[in-house]
Structures are given as C-alpha cells and as structure tokens.
C-alpha cells in the first residue's frame, strides 16, 4: 500500500526575505478541503511565510484564479487545493487532466505552484491524503510552492537573451 512506503522529503525551504502565497481552494468536499488548507497554512507559517486564501467553485477554476491573481497581484507563489473523487462518468478524467495540465502550463510560464488537487477513487483515499496528521498533501503542496519560490529567488534575474527586449531611446538609433 502506497501510504506505508517511506519517501524522502526535502528539508524545509528557508528565506531571508518574506514570502507570500495565495492558497486557491475548491471546497466542493468541504471537510477534505479544510484539512488540505490546514496543512498548507501550517507549512507556510513554519517557513515564516504569509498567505491569503480564496475559494473557487471547482478544480477547473483553480488555474484560472491563479492566472488572474498573477496578472493582478504580488504573490510569490500559489498553492492549488481541491479534491476530485471518481464518479460514474468520464467527467472525472476531464477535471483531473485539465486542471493538472493548466497548472503545469502556468508553472512552465514561471509561476511557483504547488499542486494539491487530490485525484482519488473514493472518499477514504481523500480523507487519508488530506489529513494533516497522515499524508498531509496540503502541506506537501505548500512545501512544493515554497521550494519553487526559493529556486526563483536563487536564480533571480538571470536572463539568457531569449525573447524580445524593449528598446530604449538610445537603442533605437541606427549606427
């Protein structure tokens, strides 16, 4: 059983400047979402960070909320939390795949996102994974976001000359 395997966990990320995260949660299964949020909050606080929390209707709306926030706010990173339990239709596959893919695409654009959207077969699996005293997937998602923020700060303003650069008045002149 996967829940009893031993896994390596990276040491907690450390910061010399404050870090602020947005926790975006879909509380469709409220008790499970509350446990995920509790784990995420505890991990962020343990790293000396702060957070804000917003709720969205479902897992599919989580990436959109993160994208809106990225354009309109100043968060260092994001924690995506929710739960999708398999039902009788293929809707489960759509929600799991599309929410995960959208978060991955945002991450590839440079956003620091910890994905804590549970995709499970039944409620018991969700309860075990969400429980902060058991698998604590909410805390794990927050830790992932914090590690990505630490990498972003480590590599900071490095550029490799890829893409377009805005021309200044001096660089507009022809030689």
Q: Which residues are catalytic?
A: 91
Q: Given the structure tokens 């997937």, which residue do they identify?
A: 137
**From CA 106, how far away is CA 61, in angstroms rounded?**
13
CA 155 remoteness from chain centre: 20
**From CA 50, how far away is CA 168, in angstroms rounded?**
37
Q: How far apart are the first and last CA of the chain?
A: 69
CB 13 within 8 A of CB 24: no
What's the burial of 63, exposed, middle or buried (CB within 10 Å: 0-12/13-18/19+)?
buried
- H-helix segments, the chain: 30-46, 62-72, 91-108, 123-130, 137-155
């Amino acid at each position: 059983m996967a829940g009893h395997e031993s896994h390596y966990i990276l040491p907690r990320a450390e910061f010399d400047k404050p870090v602020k995260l947005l926790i975006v949660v879909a509380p469709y299964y409220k008790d499970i979402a509350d446990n995920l949020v509790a784990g995420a909050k505890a991990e962020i606080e343990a790293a000396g960070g702060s957070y804000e929390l917003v709720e969205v209707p479902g897992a599919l709306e989580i990436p959109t909320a993160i994208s809106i926030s990225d354009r309109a706010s100043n968060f260092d990173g994001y924690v995506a939390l929710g739960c999708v339990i398999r039902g009788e239709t293929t809707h489960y596959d759509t929600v799991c795949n599309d929410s995960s893919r959208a978060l991955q695409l945002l991450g590839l654009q440079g956003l620091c996102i910890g994905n804590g959207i549970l995709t499970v077969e039944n409620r018991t699996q969700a309860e075990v994974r969400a429980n902060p005293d058991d698998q604590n997937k909410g805390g794990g998602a927050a830790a992932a976001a914090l590690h990505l923020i630490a990498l972003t700060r480590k590599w900071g303003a490095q550029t490799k000359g890829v893409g377009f650069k805005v021309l200044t008045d001096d660089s507009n002149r022809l030689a």
